[in-house]
């Protein structure tokens, strides 16, 4: 499903160059649960942005479902992000003026899906994260864990095959972290491919594969 070969991403800082990714090679099969762990500044988020088609590499190749990403136009990449990939971020990235169900509905509106189907899918997604009773609450009326549940519902409402989590438990207490990880395990059990970016070893160890990243270089660890 995901195949990166010798991928580098270089940033120019002053007169010098910094390798956010340095010839990174990574293969992830459909249906895997992989964690990518590393310290701050190691290149984790850059790697996720490339996997999620939010950024492009300076060199190397990235095949998503056997198709080179560079073959897609920006419009096509936007469609891939909206239909094939679900994103869950540490900061939730909810729109504060919209209710939980309105936040979850947004990706479906972008897809041009009709109102009746949108309503059905939103209800299904919120039920999967056990948030049906809070569907009409604003983010400010929800706890951090509940906001992250809304973010997960928004990520899965388009029925993506790949879910990318960028430190999705980073702002949560231990009990809420456990609840959110239970949801990720359930999504994995239902066939989703999960790639989880984290700095937390305990979170990383819940995946079936651990990939370490440091100074833009990847190394695999057996679980």
According to DSSP H, which parts of the chain are helical? Answer: 44-51, 74-83, 100-111, 115-128, 144-156, 174-189, 201-204
pLDDT at residue 40, as a whole number: 86
Domain architecture of the chain: domains with CATH: 33-49+74-221 (3.40.50.300)
Q: Please, are residues 207 and 223 in contact by the beta-carbon 8 Å criterion?
A: yes
Per-residue pLDDT in tens (0 to 9) along the chain, 223 residues: 999 999 999 998 888 888 999 999 999 999 999 999 999 889 999 999 999 999 989 999 999 988 898 888 888 888 889 889 999 998 999 999 999 999 999 999 999 999 999 999 999 999 999 999 999 999 999 999 999 999 999 999 999 999 999 999 998 999 999 999 999 999 999 999 999 999 999 999 999 999 999 999 999 865 4
Q: Please, are residues 111 and 83 in contact by the beta-carbon 8 Å criterion?
A: yes
pLDDT at residue 60, as a whole number: 96
pLDDT at residue 222, as a whole number: 54
Q: What is the pTM of this model?
A: 0.91
């Amino acid at each position: 499903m995901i195949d990166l070969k010798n991928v580098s991403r270089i940033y120019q800082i002053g007169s010098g160059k910094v390798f956010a990714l340095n010839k990174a090679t990574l293969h992830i099969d459909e249906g895997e649960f992989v964690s990518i762990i590393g310290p701050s500044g190691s290149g984790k988020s850059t790697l996720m942005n490339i996997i999620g088609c939010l950024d492009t590499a300076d060199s190397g190749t990235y095949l998503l479902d056997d198709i080179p990403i560079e073959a897609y136009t920006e419009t096509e990449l936007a469609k891939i992000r909206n239909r094939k990939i679900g994103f869950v971020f540490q900061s939730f990235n909810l729109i504060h003026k919209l209710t939980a169900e309105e936040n979850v509905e947004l990706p479906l509106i972008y897809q041009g899906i009709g109102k009746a189907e949108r309503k059905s899918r939103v209800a299904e997604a919120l039920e999967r994260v056990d948030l049906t009773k809070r569907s009409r609450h604003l983010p400010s009326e929800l706890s951090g864990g509940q906001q992250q549940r809304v973010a997960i519902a928004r990520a899965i409402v388009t029925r993506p095959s790949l879910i990318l989590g960028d430190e999705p438990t980073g702002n949560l207490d231990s009990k809420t972290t456990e609840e959110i990880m239970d949801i990720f395990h359930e999504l994995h059990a239902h066939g989703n491919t999960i790639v989880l970016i984290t700095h937390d070893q305990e979170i990383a160890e819940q995946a079936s594969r651990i990939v370490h990243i440091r100074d833009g270089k990847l190394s695999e660890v057996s679980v």
